[in-house]
Structure 1
Amino acid sequence: MKLKLPDSLLRPGHPDFGTLSPLAEEITTRAGGALALEHDVPQRLRQCIDDVIMTPKTGRRAYEELEKTEKTYIGTRVEIELRALLRLRKGRLDTEILGQDVDIKHTMGGNWMIPTEAIDCACLLVAADEVRARCYLGLIVARPAYLTHGQNKDAKRSISAEGFRHILWLFKDQPYPANFWRTADEAAVQQIFAGDTGNERMAQLFRLIQRRPVPRDVVEAVAQQKDFMRRIRSDKGRGTRDLLARDGILLLSGQYDSQLIKALDLPPCAGGEFISCRIENEYHARMAAQSGHAVKWPTS
């Protein structure tokens, strides 16, 4: 998406305000309020993208590695997820809101392709910027004056530079969960996946990426095994926790170790996340031991 978007002209007196404002209010209400909308839509976008990348099964780690048909399917998934989130039914177009047919358009780029059947209809615009981990949600009446003159082979037209000024934004440049692998050091990623066994790869993951929450799906991708959660546990001296503890590294669960995570001044972890850190003083070693985590100290 463009780094700088023009200011919206959508305010009372604009010819589309009476159409789009009630739709925006209805969407926000159905989502449970503006804050819920700004939280839930980004989370759904991340899930839609990751479910198609399928790192645990395919070994792919980025949107750019997808086939063209898979990239198209993400748009379909987003449409389905938004209807489910907002409890909307299917309409003549993608959905119906307050008795109006509304087309849902999604892009991973900088613009949306509007089909002929959506001309002069309201469109709910969704965009995800994977590089910057930012997302956008807006409404527009797809008037011909807001669209480019050129069209693709399917007779779809994109929104013109002037058309962007006629979008009513529900939110824009909103952070959403970044692709974990995109933000990790590439050399570290190569070392992690060079391990021959699930335990080796998992231990490398938490050795090389410390003091940062690691989602459950990343653990699954690294383990590359059906019972991937077994790799995270102690296992008669052979589990990931055992290997890390011998190196003076603590591996904690957001679900079970939230108090210790807070005491060690680590970033907050959700229930399905994990985090590791190197024990650096005797006080922290005692806190870990009191919480049932034996770790080598002092480290050599």
Structure 2
Amino acid sequence: MHPDDDAELQHVAEWLRQNSVVERLCAAADDAIRYVLDGARTWRFSLSAGEVDSDERSSVGTKLQYHVIEQLGLSKEPPLDTTIVGLPVEIKGTVRDTWMIPREGQCEITLMIQIDDKEQRMRALLMRTHRAWLTGGRGNRDLKRSPRRAAVREYAMEIAPWTGLPSEPLRLLKREQLEVVFGPKGQVKRLTALFGYLPGVIIPRSSIETVCAKNQDPMRRARQAKEHVLEEHGLIVLVGTWTEERRLAARLGYDLGDSAWVAVDRSLVKAVDLDAQL
């Protein structure tokens, strides 16, 4: 059956499209990646890093289904992973080129999410994973099988096109800069270097926690670094936690939410302040 003729598949697809699915799936993918990397305890910020083993990369898909369910306001429900508009739906994530469909999910509606860590992007497809479209006769030991690429091209519906994941600013640093930011000189000095290397780049709380991994109260150390950043680099650090700084950042074109940070040239801050007063 072609997807256009599969009424149940169409009902699920319509529900997903009406629920800001692209934004929510991106958030779920980012959450799953950060959960596995556990930067606040490991200093890791990329799935492609050599310190991340293959089992950990594979576990992103397992964590992803729970984050997707949470982001979409669904519940973990049998017989598969969840139900959407009363229909059972399997959720499968992968950081590779294909998905492994368990026996119970075969011939069922499957939300298939693919994460490309190298390009920092994700996409999502919806497909009824018929056994006729899966590779192999019996699959692996768990009887899992993968959809053939030709079948995916013809029978999968695009729910979210390739979309960029939230940026990880630590990936912007050069090798010599990373050696300083993750060096032995103390949290305040390392955070001062971080903001100095990345002016105008929004830095989420999680990145600061990664730089200060295994240390106490990294946000306090980041606040202490503000005066050093101004003195050494001529940059004013704005923090989303504080209402006035969040508003000032917004006037400069930065959305800090309630926890992100950004270092901006002090002349720009003074100009915006003066303009606001006038």
1:46 matched to 2:30: yes
Measured after TM superposition, the shift of residue 278 of structure 1 is: 3.4
Measured after TM superposition, the shift of residue 50 of structure 1 is: 0.5
TM-score (norm 1): 0.79
Measured after TM superposition, the shift of residue 169 of structure 1 is: 1.9
Aligned counterpart, 2:56: 70
Aligned counterpart, 1:243: 228
Do the aligned residues in 2 keep the contact of 1:199 with 1:223 (CA within 8 Å)? no
The equivalent position to 1:226 in structure 2, one of 198, 201, 216, is: 216
Aligned counterpart, 1:258: 246
Do the aligned residues in 2 keep the contact of 1:130 with 1:178 (CA within 8 Å)? no
In the TM superposition, 1:1-300 aligns within 5 A as 10-11=3-4, 14=5, 17-28=6-17, 33-34=18-19, 36-64=20-48, 65-84=51-70, 85-149=72-136, 151-164=139-152, 165-224=154-213, 225-233=215-223, 239-247=224-232, 248-256=234-242, 257-263=245-251, 265-279=252-266, 281=267, 284-285=269-270
TM-score (norm 2): 0.85
Aligned Cα root-mean-square deviation (Å): 2.5
**Across the two proteins, how many residue pairs are aligned to each other?**
266
Q: Percent identity?
A: 22
Measured after TM superposition, the shift of residue 23 of structure 1 is: 1.5
Measured after TM superposition, the shift of residue 149 of structure 1 is: 2.9
Higher RCO, 1 vs 2 (CA within 8 Å, ≥6 residues apart): 2
Range that drifts further, 210-219 or 52-61: 52-61
| 1: CA distance, partners of 2:29 / 2:21 | 12
Do the aligned residues in 2 keep the contact of 1:88 with 1:97 (CA within 8 Å)? no
Which letter does structure 1 place at the counterpart of 2:30? R
Range that drifts further, 172-181 or 196-205: 172-181
Post-superposition CA distance 1:213-247 (Å, at most 9, x none)? 000111112233221111122xxxxx311212212
**Higher helix proportion (structure 1 or 2):** 2
Which letter does structure 2 place at the counterpart of 1:57? R
Name the CA shift for 1:168/1:86 in 2 (closer, same or farther; >3 Å).
farther
Post-superposition CA distance 1:238-284 (Å, at most 9, x none)? x3112122122211113431343345x453322211111333x5x75
| 2: CA distance, partners of 1:172 / 1:260 | 34
Aligned counterpart, 1:236: none
Residue 255 of structure 2 aligns to a residue in which SS?
coil
Higher gyration radius (CA): 1
Do the aligned residues in 2 keep the contact of 1:146 with 1:166 (CA within 8 Å)? no
In structure 2, the gaps of 5 or more residues are: none
Do the aligned residues in 2 keep the contact of 1:220 with 1:228 (CA within 8 Å)? yes
Which letter does structure 2 place at the counterpart of 1:254? G
Residue 244 of structure 1 aligns to a residue in which SS?
helix
Name the CA shift for 1:285/1:172 in 2 (closer, same or farther; >3 Å).
closer
| 1: CA distance, partners of 2:198 / 2:82 | 43
| 2: CA distance, partners of 1:145 / 1:27 | 26
Which letter does structure 2 place at the counterpart of 1:198? Q
Which letter does structure 2 place at the counterpart of 1:148? T
Aligned counterpart, 1:6: none
Post-superposition CA distance 1:44-89 (Å, at most 9, x none)? 2101110110112012222133233333332222111222333234
